[in-house]
Structure 1
């Protein structure tokens, strides 16, 4: 064998050995596998960043659109360590780690700047530490799941009285049932992958989600009306099995930490841009957009917030809702 061929063969053997020894990182998310999906665009950026910074010692394998497992199963996988990383929405997180349901308190944040400041500050850090201690799941931070709005295929909804008799899909955590029922509608938990079918078949009249998810899952095809009430700033949390994380080298941990930050910026920016242009985007999709005045939003807040707070306090105590209120108040005070 020539020296050139021998060198080529040696390089191939080293590359194969390196690939075989790479740490497999299964990364699950629930949006479609295209670059218009904030979750997927962020996931691809994370993959490129981590594999580059670790010279391939971590092999990131992305499973979009719920391909790896359902949302509750993904949370179980993170606890057990069978799934290394996932970006998961509020409902399944609240079902596994109940204090997260405090973030379902409706009509709380004024805008994205406030919501990000609270979640990036001491409140978010303390919650991440508590989640890690209680579940073995490491929360690096959160990105936007969109400002949640109500949609339905029956009538215009501008005030709580218009919700009477509607059947609405909610995420799989009891706090969301409480929110919808406090406004006079009936609530049916439906897993995210099953939602388009449930709307098409008339199992439910409507649902509540941000613009990104309404467009990404083509929910507008079976929903005529969207009410821009912005009842909850919803989140996608960047989660990792702590058993996997602690098995990384210091350099690999640094790479993961840095690359999550990059993914979050991409994810937040894409989702926030869609929320800011909700009326135009959804109108173009054929939906009738129903604006909500400050006076009407106050009606929604008065109907929903006490019931949801009572439920959350009954589930997790007053500690986390009180801490969230304090963080919001501190943010507002910082601008006085």
Structure 2
């Protein structure tokens, strides 16, 4: 018992010693980090992993202050603040980053990725590194990391949707994104843009029949109370990225830059792990228990959705972006798929 007590005392002393640098002197750098989700959400937990790692690994040279739940403004607002240097780190998602750097819109293309691993490989590719570098040079915003918070899936109150033909006659709420409008229209549905703040009541009162979001969001915002059917088609990936001020990052010594990058990657991995488990297990089970009927389309049925949207989405992207760039992105993802298939053949 005495040895155990001494061991505990030793561990406590070591923990205190590791914490002392941040207590003993003021930090050399203050890093203010903003995100839009509630405290203790998977995203917020990731930011706290970021804080713990960066402050500890920098021996207290960097202090991290987290502002959750849109305390500093909307996602777009805080990205503007990062550009202006008012804060140093902020959340972005696949729906907002293209406001600052248009080529990023391609990450929101329907059925661009078949699964999270393809997205992870693409974000780690040399091609995406060049895209990120160009964004940093052009806008002063650099993506430190990104992680999936789940694929978007359709819900509705009218009927089960198993394939593209079932979308006919469905008034589907979409965010104010051209690709979301094109996607639902190409499937035969009626796309209806409605602000996020009005979505629940629009579903409740029948202004629209359905909506589309990842499992975690469907659960978090109690859409099962006003929706009957869920289709796990995974048409768009939800990506939460951690964006840093390029000016701030370059102001740090090289060793501290690497600590900030590593901490951001840990943060994204934390959110992804919890959201992935929720999307595959707990979230789906919760929605079943709340009375939702869940459709699991086969690969052939998912192909009917994908085939309906491919041509109009490609046409849109080629008008908005350099066609050579669009081709290079799809080519990179095709190469990633081929490489992953080769591993199991």
Matched, 1:101 2:95: no
Report the CA distance shift for 1:75/1:221 in structure 2 as closer, same or farther (over 3 A): farther
Does residue 1:328 correspond to 2:333, yes or no? yes
Secondary structure, counterpart of 1:91 in structure 2:
coil
1:1-336 alignment, distance < 5 Å: 18-19=25-26, 23-34=29-40, 37-190=41-194, 192=196, 195-200=199-204, 202-277=206-281, 279-334=284-339, 335-336=341-342
CA shift in 2, pair 1:176/1:83, >3 Å? farther
* Aligned-residue offset at 1:168: 2.8
Change (3 A) 1:284 1:86: farther
Which segments of 5 or more consecutive residues in structure 1 lack a partner in the other structure? 1-13
C-alpha deviation, 1:281, in angstroms: 3.9
Aligned equivalents of 1:194 and 1:28: distance in 2? 24
CA distance in 1, matches of 2:70, 2:201: 15
Specify every segment of 5 or more residues in structure 2 that has no aligned partner in the other structure, as ranges: 1-20
State the distance in 2 between where 1:316 and 1:101 align. Answer: 9
When the two structures are aligned, how many residues end up with a matched partner? 320
CA contact (8 A) 2:22 2:55 kept: no
Deviation sequence 1:45-76 (CA, Å, 0-9, x none): 00111121223333322222323211222232
Q: Indicate the RMSD between aligned Cα atoms, in angstroms.
A: 2.5
Task: Give the CA deviation at 1:88.
Answer: 1.7
Secondary structure class of the residue paired with 2:146: strand
Q: Which residue of 1 aligns with 2:7?
A: none
Report the alpha carbon displacement of residue 16 of structure 1 after superposing the two structures with TM. 8.7
**1:77 to partner: Cα distance:** 2.2
Helix, strand or coil for the counterpart of 2:95?
helix
Change (3 A) 1:327 1:285: farther
Contact 1:238 1:260 (8 Å CA) reproduced:
yes
Separation in 2, partners of 1:74, 1:166? 35
> Shift of residue 329 of structure 1?
2.0
Shift in alpha-carbon separation, 1:52–1:323, aligned structure 2, 3 A:
same
1:243 CA displacement: 2.1
Which whole-Å CA distance do the structure 2 matches of 1:191 and 1:47 have between them? 32
Q: Distance in 2 between matches of 1:244 and 1:306?
A: 41
Using the size of structure 2 for normalisation, the TM-score is 0.83
Report if the CA contact (8 A) 1:211-1:275 is conserved: yes
Shift in Å, 1:210: 1.2
3-state SS of 1:223 partner? coil
- 1:111 deviates by 2.2
Q: CA separation of 1:276/1:324 partners in 2, compared to 1, >3 Å: closer, same or farther?
A: farther
Determine if contact 2:22/2:61 at 8 Å carries over to the other structure.
no
Q: CA deviation at 1:203?
A: 4.7
Secondary structure in 1 aligned to 2:37? Answer: coil
TM-score normalised according to structure 1 size? 0.85
Secondary structure in 1 matching 2:131:
helix
